[in-house]
Amino acid sequence: MTTSNDRPPHTRHRPVMLQRCLDLLAPALDAPGATVVDCTLGLGGHSEALLGAFPQVRLIGLDRDTRALELAGARLAPYGDRATLVHAVYDELPAVLARLGTPRVAGILFDLGVSSMQLDEADRGFAYSQDAPLDMRMDQTTGLSAAEVLNTYPPGELVRILRAYGEEKFARKIVEAVVAERAKQPLTSSARLVTLIRDALPQAAKRTGGNPAKRTFQALRIEVNGELSVLERAMPAAVDALAVGGRIAVLSYHSLEDRLVKRVLADGARSTAPAGLPVVPEEYQPRLKLLTRGAELPTDEEIAENKRAAPARLRGAERVRERVR
C-alpha cells in the first residue's frame, strides 16, 4: 500500500495560505516583465503557483538548502528560464539581485521557518516526533549542528538560547539535564534529547501545551541557522528592494518571527516627521502601506486539511514611496 510518505516530497507539500498570498501579491505582478522573489523556495509550492497564476512574471527563488533547490528545480523545470533558482540565504537578497541585474522587484514572498521537506526527512533532525541525528542545519554544507551546540556551548549560553528563542520557562532545568548527560557521553540523538527534556520537566508542565520538547527544538533550530539575525537583516533589505507599487507578503510561524516582521512593516508605514509640523516633507512620509489588518490567520478549513498551517501568521505591505535621502 502506498502511504503519503511514499510519494515525492513536492506532492505531499501543501503551501500555506496559498491563495491569500497570491491575492496579496497579484496587483504588483500584472505588468509584463514583473519579477517576484520567493525568498524561501522550499519545495517550490508557492513559486509554482506564482508562475502559473501570472504567465508574464519572472521568478527568482532563494534557498540555503541544496536538497530543496534540487527538488524545486525539477518541479519548476516546465517554466524554463522564467525561474532562476539560487543557493543563498535570504539576507543575501541584495547581492543576489545585483548579480542578476535586477535591483528592484515587483513582489517578494517569505515563508519562514522549517520547510515540510526538512520536517519529513528524518535524518535532518528537525522533528521531535522521530529519532534522528541532531543536525537541524537547513544548509548541511556549513555551520554547527544542533549536536555541536548542545555538546560544546557553555551552560549559561544554552539557557539564554532556550529562553530567548524557545521562550522556555524551564530552560535551566533542561540545560542541567543536558550538561549532566553530555558529561557522560555526547548527545547525538533527537529521541535521547526528548527523553531528557521530559524527565527534567515538572509533571504539571508535561500535561499541557503539546510535546514538551517543542520549545527546545525551536530554540536549537533558530540558533543553528541564525534565523532571527538573518530575518532582522533580510526584512529591511527586502523592503528596499521593492519598486514603488511592489508588494511583500510574509508568513511567519512563531511570535518571535512575527514580532520582527510586524516591527519592520509598521516602521515603514509610519511617518517619521517630528510632531507638530504643519506640512510633512516628502522625506518623512511613510514608504509602505499595510495590506493586512494585524496578522491574518489560516482558515479553519485549511488547518483541518493541513495541520502545519495552524501557527501561520500572514502580513503584507505595498511600497508606496521611494526613500528620500
- The answer on 256 and 110 residing in a single domain is yes
Instruction: Give the model's pLDDT for residue 3.
Output: 35
- The answer on 46 and 27 residing in a single domain is yes
One digit per residue, the tens of pLDDT, for the chain of length 325 reads 333 444 454 455 689 999 999 999 999 998 888 999 999 999 999 999 999 999 999 999 999 999 999 999 999 999 999 999 999 999 999 999 999 999 999 999 999 987 665 655 555 666 777 788 999 998 888 899 999 999 999 999 999 999 999 999 999 999 999 999 999 999 999 999 999 999 998 887 776 667 888 899 999 999 999 999 999 999 999 999 999 999 999 999 999 999 999 999 999 999 777 776 777 777 778 999 999 999 999 999 999 999 889 999 999 999 999 875 5
- The answer on 149 and 91 residing in a single domain is no
Q: Helix 45-53 to helix 18-25 angle, to the nearest 10 degrees?
A: 50
Which DSSP category does 201 fall into?
A: S
Task: For residue 17, tell me if it sits in a domain.
Answer: yes
- The answer on 90 and 15 residing in a single domain is yes
State yes or no: 111 annotated in a binding site.
yes
Q: Which of 210, 225, 240 is a domain's end point?
A: 225
What are the CA-CA distances from residue 106 to residues 41, 319, 321 (Å)?
A: 17, 9, 13
Task: For residue 79, tell me if it sits in a domain.
Answer: yes
Q: What CATH number corresponds to the domain at position 201?
A: 1.10.150.170
CA dist 148 and 224 (Å) reads: 9
Q: What is the DSSP string of 44-95?
A: SHHHHHHHHH-TT-EEEEEES-HHHHHHHHHHHGGGGGGEEEEE--GGGHHH
Q: Which of 225, 253, 272 is a domain's end point?
A: 225
Instruction: Give the model's pLDDT for residue 231.
Output: 97
- The answer on 108 and 96 residing in a single domain is yes
Overall pTM > 0.85: yes
Task: For residue 184, tell me if it sits in a domain.
Answer: yes
- The answer on 168 and 269 residing in a single domain is no
State yes or no: 63 annotated in a binding site.
yes
Sequence-ordered list of residues with C-beta below 8 angstroms from that of 232, at least 6 positions apart, any chain: 260
Residue pair 59/86 in contact (Cβ under 8 Å)? The answer is: no
Count of CA atoms in the C-beta half-sphere (13 A) of 51 = 23
Task: For residue 325, tell me if it sits in a domain.
Answer: no
Amino acid letter at 132?
Answer: A
CA dist 115 and 120 (Å) reads: 9
Q: Which of 225, 243, 259 is a domain's end point?
A: 225
State yes or no: 118 annotated in a binding site.
yes
State yes or no: 258 annotated in a binding site.
no
In sequence order, the β-bridge partners of residue 35 are 58
- The answer on 247 and 202 residing in a single domain is no
Task: For residue 324, tell me if it sits in a domain.
Answer: no
Task: For residue 100, tell me if it sits in a domain.
Answer: yes
- The answer on 90 and 8 residing in a single domain is yes
Instruction: Give the model's pLDDT for residue 282.
Output: 74
Instruction: Give the model's pLDDT for residue 272.
Output: 72
- The answer on 249 and 113 residing in a single domain is yes
Q: What CATH number corresponds to the domain at position 289?
A: 3.40.50.150
Domain containing residue 94: 4-117+227-319
Report the domain count for the chain: 2
State yes or no: 46 annotated in a binding site.
yes
Q: Is 125 left (phi over 0), alpha (psi -120 to 50) or beta?
A: left
Work out whether strand 242-252 and strand 288-290 pair parallel, antiparallel, or are unpaired: unpaired
Q: Is 196 left (phi over 0), alpha (psi -120 to 50) or beta?
A: alpha
Task: For residue 35, tell me if it sits in a domain.
Answer: yes
- The answer on 254 and 219 residing in a single domain is no
CA dist 229 and 173 (Å) reads: 26
Give the count of beta carbons closer than 10 Å to the beta carbon of residue 324.
10
Residue 321's SS3 state is: coil
- The answer on 29 and 88 residing in a single domain is yes
